[in-house]
Amino acid sequence: MEGKVRIGFYALTSCYGCQLQLAMMDELLQLLPKAEIVCWFMVERDSYEDEPVDIAFIEGSVSTEEEVELVKKIRENAKIVVAVGSCAVHGGVQSWEKDKSLEELWKTVYGDGKVKFEPKMAEPVENYIKVDYRIYGCPPEKKDFLYALGTFLVGSWPEDIDYPVCVECRLKGHPCVLIEKGEPCLGPITRAGCDARCPGFGVACIGCRGAIGYDVAWFDSLARTFKEKGISKEEILQRMKIFNAHNPKLEEMVEKIFQEVEE
Amino acid sequence: MKNLYLPITVDHIARVEGKGGVEIVVGDDGVKEVRLNIIEGPRFFEAITLGKKLDEALAVYPRICSFCSAAHKLTAVEAAEKAIGFTPREEIQALREVLYIGDMIESHALHLYLLVLPDYLGYSNPLKMVNEYKKEIGIALDLKNLGSWMMDELGARAIHQENVVLGGFGKLPDKATLETMKKRLSEALPKAEYTFELFSKLEQYEEVEGPIIHVAVKPRGDVYGIYGDYIKVSDGFEFPVEDYKKHIVEKVVEHSFAKHSFYKGEKPFMVGALPRLVNNAETLYGRARELYESHKDLLRPTNPFANNLAQALELVYFIERGIDLIDEALAKWPIAPKDRVEVKDGFGVSTTEAPRGIVTYALEVKDGRVAYADIITPTAYNFAMMEVHVRMMAEKHYNDDPERLKYLTEMVVRAYDPCISCSVHVARL
């Protein structure tokens, strides 16, 4: 890209963790001579949502009618649209109860209270506009940002990761929380890139980077292990839904894992 | 009827966490209405975790807010442990507080240097300060990095810490890492003192002076800190954290996805670093105590801008406190990271001091699942009071240039260090 690259960071409904992760990167200072921040409300008071940008980073899920309009506007103004983090890519944890109606959720929390905005059930950005690249994670790792930004800046295109957390966990040599402790670790079916951070602390993966495409997950051995440990299909499905409620392949994938066992 | 002029609005307040705006309606005889519009969408955290497995719900709650994810995690875990009848060992409790202090240091440093300071120095964005304020940006990054690193070591990462589990931690850092943590904390102390010095020189706008009801946790063991079993109000009233609903009511307001909270039915109140100091200064010790005594006139209970300086004072305090807590844990070394917990049925309430004020979790557990959840975040507690102070500022400046008015009202909001995302998961009625 020539001249200063124009960057926008836009927030939909989220915990702001993806922006915080980027804002906390000391490396950002090195980027400054090469980039111009056109819109980033969290750090820049002079932010403009309507201006054209080279790269638009969007975090958060689409959760109000106003946000539907906003993502359309961002798409029109941007050369590259990057969905950042679990909310923008997958709808986020706020989609966990996707199968309940908005009315029911609203009533549980607000009772009969009304507000003047139009709420929606949380959805991934991709449900409304074309997304060019995804940065996974809740929150994404710093190196995810560095890789994507660095690659765009040299005029190239970052690749997607197509192997599961299990691969990184084995390479790190961590004890397996699934095999050794029988915990419902989602490492085998979750997209890698975190260096198996949680299993490294002896904590079962909750799948915050989202499910990997089901054609590359380790179905046979994994299914057998889940079953041996007494972990049910329903349990895995429910756990997967924390970060994957909108994944159209989800049920098919979990079904496939457990089918292998029966065959 | 008097003429009403076009509302003066800030659609999207910059340099806060989350999406909110200010709307001021002015008529011929002054300010008619002041509204903090919270435009971020609802996230239904209490509703979506109902019926879910306790450990999974505990992984989700911190996602309410990234700036204080450790605060959410630790408060939710304490409420859950109270519900199932488990009390963590003292050394585990000490190390959890060290993790919490990591959040406090990171959050205060980010708020003071990156969100607040640019206004005072005339920058729209902290990154633009790099050349002229090298020292300040350097300190901001050092303190921020220290807090993040403490959370990495004790929480598995700085945002959404999965390493805190029922019964303790997944894994603990080794002794050498804790020794290094102590050393890094000691080295950070002069930087925190510099921060206090810097912020003690900044303007506190007299336009917003007035009585404030301060609400904070009464610290456990009478040592200034994060955990407690009672809520203390500046009017002298105290109540157990379990009784929060008897004394604080939440109301849905039309212009916001976040509810507003009131003490004794209708009184707005403030939570945060300033209320902690106002209510609990006598429990401070060390260098922070000395700074408090010598700067009392600046740490005015009547001015929300004093919250910035109170945060700077807390940077000094929590660095020293962190060192002491690590010593407490090291005295019992080696420490088992976790105890076996049995997930029994029950109900528990925890209120702790998040960086920007008290946060409350009430959880009921049945058959290993969440049967009831009520969460009130600091910003939800603060909104009503914030609106009062924005109005006071607007009333003094509505005739000024609209840009000036916007700038001043945004600064009032920023002094509260609001976590708007956090407030918008909203609690049950």
B interface mutation test: which of A86, A90, A114, A201 has the most B CBs within 10 A? A201
A52 touches chain B (CB under 8 A): no
A41 to B253: CB separation less than 8 angstroms, yes or no:
no
What confidence tier does A253 reach under pLDDT thresholds 50, 70, 90?
confident
Q: Cα-atom radius of gyration of chain A, to the nearest Å?
A: 20
Question: A231: helix, coil or strand?
Answer: coil
Per the CB < 8 Å rule, is B43 touching A12?
no
Helix axes B69-84, B90-109, angle to 10 degrees: 150
Nearest to A105 among B47, B66, B170 (CB): B47
Cα Rg of chain B (Å, integer): 21
Nearest to B11 by CA among B36, B32, B45: B36
Q: How many CB atoms lie within 10 A of CB A201?
A: 23
CB–CB of B178/B228 below 8 Å?
Answer: no
- Confidence category of residue B310, pLDDT binned at 50, 70, 90: very high
Partner-chain contact B156 A197, CB within 8 Å? yes
Span A129-142, average pLDDT:
97
Q: Which A-chain residues 87-146 have CB contacts (< 8 A) with chain B?
A: 92-94, 96-97, 100, 104-106, 108-111, 113-117, 119-120, 122, 138-139
pLDDT average, residue stretch B244-257: 83
Chain B residues whose beta carbon lies within 8 Å of the beta carbon of residue A97: 44, 47-48
What is the phi-psi region of residue B385: left when phi exceeds 0, alpha when psi lies from -120 to 50, beta otherwise? alpha
Chain A, 221-260: which have a CB under 8 Å from a chain B CB?
238-239, 242
Q: How far is A155 from chain B (nearest CA, A)?
A: 25
* Chain B CB contacts of A18 below 8 Å: 66
- Do the beta carbons of residue B268 and residue B384 sit within 8 Å? yes
Number of Cβ within 10 Å of residue A32's Cβ equals 13
Which are the contacts of B35, defined by CB distance < 8 A and separation ≥ 6? B22, B23, B24, B255, B256, B387
The region of weakest confidence among A116-130, B267-281, B290-304 is A116-130
In chain A, the N- to C-terminal Cα span, in Å, equals: 53
Residue type, B55: D
Q: Which residue type is seen at B168? A: G
pLDDT tens string B193-228 = 999 999 999 999 999 999 999 999 999 999 999 999
d(Cα A150, Cα A194) in Å, to the nearest integer? 18
> From CA B425, how far away is CA B49, in angstroms rounded?
12
Task: Lowest mean pLDDT of A166-175, B140-149, B259-268, B299-308, name the range.
Answer: B259-268
Whole-angstrom Cα distance, residue B328 to residue B107?
24
Q: What is the pLDDT of residue B74?
A: 98
What's the predicted TM-score (pTM) here? 0.96
Residue B357: which region, alpha, beta or left (left: phi > 0; alpha: psi -120 to 50)?
A: left
**DSSP 3-state assignment of B25?**
strand
Of B18, B42, B165, the CB nearest to A63: B42
A99, A109 contact by CB (below 8 A): no
Is B112 within 8 Å of B75 (Cβ atoms)?
Answer: no
Distance separating alpha carbons of residues B77 and B54, to the nearest angstrom: 10
pLDDT-based confidence at residue A101 (cuts at 50, 70, 90):
confident
Q: From the list B14, B156, B422, which residue is nearest A203 (CB)? A: B156
Decide if pLDDT at B4 tops 80.
Answer: no
Instruction: Tell me what pLDDT residue A69 has.
Output: 95
Q: Do B254 and A116 touch (CB under 8 A)?
A: yes
Cβ contacts from A onto B, under 8 A: 197
Which single residue is written with the structure tokens 């890139």? Answer: A193
CB hemisphere CA count around B274 (13 angstroms): 23
The answer to whether the beta carbons of residues A176 and A228 sit under 8 Å apart is no
User: Quick check: helix, strand or coil at residue A179?
Assistant: helix
Query: H/E element holding B107?
Result: helix B90-109
Asked whether the beta carbons of B357 and B381 are under 8 A apart, the reply is yes
